[in-house]
Amino acid sequence: MTFRAPEDLEKSPSLEQLVRWRRDVRRFKRDPVPQALIDRLLRLADLAPSVGNSQPWRIVSVNSPEKRAAIVQNFETARQRSAEVYSGDQADLYNRLKLAGFDAAPVQLAVFSDRGAMQGHSLGRQTMPETLDHSCACMVTVLWLAAREAGLGLGWVSILDPAAVTATLDVPANWKFVGYLLIGWPEEEHLDPELERHGWQPRTPFEARYSEVGLQGATPGQDTGSDGTAIQNGCVTLVGAGPGDPELLTLKALRALQSADAVLFDDLVAKPILDYVRPGAQMIDVGKRGYRKSCKQPDINAQMIALARQGLRVVRLKSGDPLVFGRAGEEIAACKDAGVPLSVIPGVTSAQGAAASLKVALTNRDHARRLQFITAHDRRGHLPADIDWSAVADRAVTTVIYMPKRTLAELTEIALTHGLDPKTPALAVANATRPDEQVFISTVGAIAATLGAAHPDGPVLVMIGEALRYATARDAADQAGVVLSALDVLPELT
């Protein structure tokens, strides 16, 4: 057996890295693996723990082309049979997935559990005979980690008929088939499993598999809410969908959508984003539509909690960032009061998406040293009574106004009476970052009339401030006439 040199030990991956790299590999290079390396890994795996020190694993190296071909045929038959249990999108995805790497893996091992093993004097097997098989799984795990440490990949094929494998390899009848292992140099490196990467089934929260015993009124696998009601290990995640462009979703948001059991989504969430939700998840429209019949917030809170108490992974999907005018505070409080595990995944808020789309800086060292977001309506749909008008009129601030359609004229009129220059640049953006995005370039004194005449559909926000002045003129060269008359400034030439 060979050992690493002292200088190489410093380069060894940590245990955590090995565990994270332990991925089921199905894409191998055809390069051979030195037999000495395989021998070393197998001897290392042979040190794995086993019940009663029974070491029940039996490993068969399958080298014969005829035997390998029979195993491949076994796999194809079992794969086709398994496909019959799926339907719709799940069936399509199953048929597209690469579920084995027989075509390239240079090393192929069949692992069996010897149910007749005498070693260990049957210690522990009188009460739990299945621990022999569990011991074999421990051995495979050690082999898996050892292979990753050596730079190899390992795939565990389970879509096989055990009886046919036993017959093909002509092993004793009391050997129970555990799994068929493929080993080789991986074609590519990934931290996430292929099944997760392609949307079959992402990892679920750790809390879904961890429980404590001893909580009064609860049973194992359950938590209790503040009212003492037992709840399953479900959870709620508030997810920001961004302003509309699906490519602005964060990786964390994407993973949450692909692992959700139920998604409660707002009316403003762009429809293409819903296509990223895991097939089979419950889709529940809880949109709060302005000035029309819509879901009430208490009802949404109750539905989230009820689904989580069924043990489901619930995603509350909101346009933009849930923490910016998204009523996240009410939903966070409701989950905490109910004792439901909750996490928040922020999103790109509409102001950021609109500004990026227009290439407009919201702050500027010379013109805007503050940035503020305000909402143009309160709980009743009226202009809020507590707006700080002196802050809105400040020439050194950029103000972004959310949900301004109904109250913009009143808002700008009051802002002007508090000293805001009517020629201050103003931009209105409808459906920011989406294919039907509309931009309206104007001034504070005219933006309400401009927006009212256009009457755009979809979510709208308005940005006002001196920081927008030259950027607006520069980025709207094709609308130079509008810019010159509205802003009274010449575009900068470069």
Active site residues: 266, 288, 403
How many CA within 13 A on the CB side of residue 342? Answer: 20
DSSP class of residue 242?
B
Q: Cα separation of 159 and 145, whole Å?
A: 22
CA angle 463, 468, 473 (to 5 degrees): 125
DSSP class of residue 186?
B
Q: What are the CB-based long-range contacts (under 8 Å, 24+) for 295-301? A: 297/327, 297/330, 297/331, 300/264, 300/331, 301/330, 301/331, 301/334, 301/335
Q: Which residue, 383, 69, 26, 52, is CA-closest to 195?
A: 26
Q: Do 284 and 262 touch, CB atoms closer than 8 A?
A: yes
Residues 6+ apart with CB under 8 A from 403: 290, 325, 375, 376, 377, 459, 460, 461
DSSP class of residue 449?
H
CA angle 318, 323, 326 (to 5 degrees): 45
The dihedral through the CA atoms of 427, 397, 348, 342 has a sign that is negative
Backbone angles phi, psi at 182, to 5 degrees: -110, 130
